[in-house]
Chains A and B, each alone.
Chain A
Amino acid sequence: MTVDVKRTWREEPSAALFILSASFFFIVTTLVGLTNATKFVLPEFMGNIPWLEWGRLRPLHTNGVLFGWLLAVDMGLIFFVVPRLCGNKLWSEKLGILTVVLFDLVILGAVFAFPLGGNAGMEYAELPQYLAAVVVVVWVLFGLNVFATVLTRKHEKIYVSLWYIMGGVIWTAFVYITGNFVAHFASGINQANLNWFYVHNAVGLIFTPLGIGLAYYFIPKQSQSPLFSHKLSMVGFWSIAFIYVWTGAHHMINGPISQWLQTVSILFSVMLIIPVWTVIVNFFATVSGKWDRVRQDPVLKFLMAGTTFYTLTCFQGPMHSLRTVSAIVSKTDWIVGHAHMAVLGAFSFFAIAGVLHGLPRIVHKPLYSVRLANTSFWLLFTGGLVFFAGLWIGGFMQGLQWNDWTIPWIDTVKFMRPFWMTRLFAGMVVYAGIFLFFYNVVRTFSAPVPAPEQQARPEVRPVGA
Chain B
Amino acid sequence: MFRTSEKNTGIFFILATAFFLVGGLLTTLLPAVIEKSWSTPTEGQQPYTEQQLRGKAIYQREGCWYCHTQQVRTLLPDTKRFGWRGVDAPISTPEEYVRDNPHMLGTRRIGPDLARVGGKYDTSWHRTHFKNPRDLVKGSMMAPFPWLFQNDEQEFKDLVSYVQTLGRNVNWRPKDDYER
Contact = CB atoms under 8 A, between A and B. Distances in A.
Interface of A: 39-41, 43-44, 47-48, 50, 53-56, 58-59, 117, 119-123, 147, 150-151, 156-158, 163, 166-167, 170-171, 174, 178, 184, 186-195, 197, 205, 234, 238, 241-246, 248-249, 251-252, 254-258, 261, 264-265, 268, 327, 331-332, 335-336, 402-405, 409-410, 413-414, 420
Interface string B25-66: 011100110010111000000000000000000001111111
A121 B60 contact: yes
Contact of B2 (A119, A189, A234, A254): A234
Contacts of A246: 23, 26-27
A120 B132 CA distance: 27
Contacts of A243: 23
Contact of A167 (B6, B16, B141, B147): B16
Contacts of B17: 170, 174
Most chain B beta carbons < 10 A, residue from A39, A40, A238: A238
A191 B31 CA distance: 12
Interface in B110-133: 110-112, 132-133
Nearest to A403: B77
A100 B5 CA distance: 30
B30 to A, nearest CB: 9
A138 B129 CA distance: 44
Contact of A327 (B60, B75, B110): B75
Given A121-B104, A252-B105, A256-B105, 20 more contacts: A47-B144, A119-B63, A121-B60, A123-B107, A158-B9, A166-B12, A184-B101, A186-B101, A187-B99, A187-B101, A188-B100, A197-B28, A238-B2, A238-B15, A246-B26, A254-B75, A331-B109, A402-B81, A405-B80, A420-B141
A174 B24 contact: yes
Interface stretch (B89-97, B157-165, B172-180): B89-97
A248 B31 contact: no
B74 interface: yes
29 contacts: A43-B141, A44-B144, A48-B144, A53-B143, A54-B66, A56-B62, A123-B107, A147-B9, A151-B9, A158-B7, A170-B17, A174-B24, A187-B100, A187-B101, A188-B39, A188-B100, A188-B103, A189-B97, A197-B27, A241-B16, A245-B19, A245-B23, A254-B74, A256-B97, A258-B35, A264-B27, A331-B107, A403-B75, A413-B139
Nearest to A194: B28
Contacts of A174: 17, 20, 24
B138 interface: yes
Given A53-B62, A119-B61, A245 B24 contact: yes
A174 B35 CA distance: 24
Contact of A188 (B62, B99, B109, B145): B99
Contacts of A151: 9
Contacts of A242: 19, 22-23
B102 interface: yes
A241 B20 contact: yes
Contacts of B96: 256
B134 interface: yes
A413 B141 contact: yes
Nearest to B35: A258
A331 B77 CA distance: 14
Contacts, number: 215
**A-side interface mostly:** helix
Contacts of A156: 7
Contact of A54 (B27, B100, B102, B143): B143
Nearest to A41: B141
Contacts of A336: 108
Nearest to A53: B143
A197 B25 CA distance: 11
A255 B91 CA distance: 9
A331 B9 CA distance: 41
Contacts of A331: 69, 107-109
Nearest to A118: B61
Contacts of B74: 254-255
Nearest to B30: A261
B166 interface: no
A158 B138 contact: no
A152 to B, nearest CB: 11
A282 B34 CA distance: 42
A56 B63 contact: yes
A55 B64 contact: yes
B67 interface: yes
A256 B93 contact: yes
A54 B103 contact: no
Nearest to A244: B23
Contacts of B23: 242-246, 268
A40 B143 CA distance: 9
Contacts of B35: 189, 258
Contacts of B22: 242, 245
A39 B112 CA distance: 18
A170 B20 contact: yes
Most chain B beta carbons < 10 A, residue from A47, A167, A189: A189
Most chain A beta carbons < 10 A, residue from B24, B77, B146, B147: B24
B142 interface: yes
B137 to A, nearest CB: 6
